[in-house]
Amino acid sequence: MIPSAPQNDQSAAVRAPGWQHELRHAFSRPAELLAHLELDPEHPDLALSRRRSFALRVPRGFVARMRKGDPHDPLLRQIWPAADEDIETPGYVVDAVGDLARVRGAGLIHKYHGRVLLVATGACAVHCRYCFRRHFPYNEQLAARDHWAEALAEIAVDTSVDEVILSGGDPLSLSDDKLGELIDALDAIPHLRRLRVHTRQPIVLPERIDERLLAWLDRTRLQTVFVLHANHPNELDDSVMTALEPLRRRGITLLNQAVLLRQINDDVETLVALSERLFGCGVLPYYLHLLDRVQGAAHFDLPEADAQALMRVLSSRLPGYLVPRLVREIAGAPSKTWIDWDTRG
């Protein structure tokens, strides 16, 4: 996880990048978050999970986009450790997408032809309660343990791989020095063509897109894609648009994958607004995921038929390039599985 600031080194804290300061001051205590949002801790919909293995973490800037006094705010619901997480539901498992069966060692997951996923870190700026990797054994599967050496050696000898996906956790939780070290090493592998970064940080912690981060993006020869993660239009305020602008100017492809979540974005108006606002930020809607059935997240799920009905209306309201692909990840499948929603035949 993100280390705490040194207790007796004020100069180090002053020198730390703004995004690291924001991370250190993120909300991690439920009572403090409820007080800030002017919410009653006795409200029945705010009952807390008894489990503490997946703690609360949310940056203050993201909390500022939540509605005070509203226990059903769609951003709050995504990060609140609710008592519903304690309900054991058949079919909801620890490894919902079969990652562990495809681990090659050294933090590499090889599920799809031509691309390999590198688990760069277990740390995230925000703990989303539906996360499919909330039970992932990061201590055993981190590529950074030996300064990437084993992971890079694996990639270098496999010429079938032309794209590396940085994931985690959130790869942008790494320091700029660590990221620079990794990107320089990937640049040196001649058969690699693309770098894909799966990150929620530009959404929940827009301060992360700073000059040092942009500097290593400027020097890579790899064609770079950022796959962002926003689920609701309220997540996309002016600070996010400002953070994404320098990425757009550099020609970086910006895509979004959202998760369809019950009582958060499972209505047409919200999904239309999300696609429109993403495009206003220069981001194309890419995937709308059906929930990965991870243990503790069943209360977010909704029937596939409901998702198909939403997509039929969504496609009648938006141009095709703003309609995300409805998909499910099935363990062992050679790619994401598209869910057919078009009844026209």
Binding residues: 124, 128, 131
3-state secondary structure of 117: strand
Local structure of residue 316 (DSSP, 8 states): H
Cα–Cα distance, 63 to 42 (Å, whole number): 20
3-state secondary structure of 61: helix
Enumerate long-range contacts of 136-143, CB under 8 Å, 24 or more apart.
136/95, 136/99, 136/100, 137/100, 138/168, 138/169, 141/103, 141/107, 142/107, 143/106, 143/107, 143/108, 143/118, 143/119
> Which amino acid makes up residue 103?
V
Q: Is the separation of the CB atoms in 238 and 268 below 8 Å?
A: no
Binding residues for [4Fe-4S] cluster: 124, 128, 131
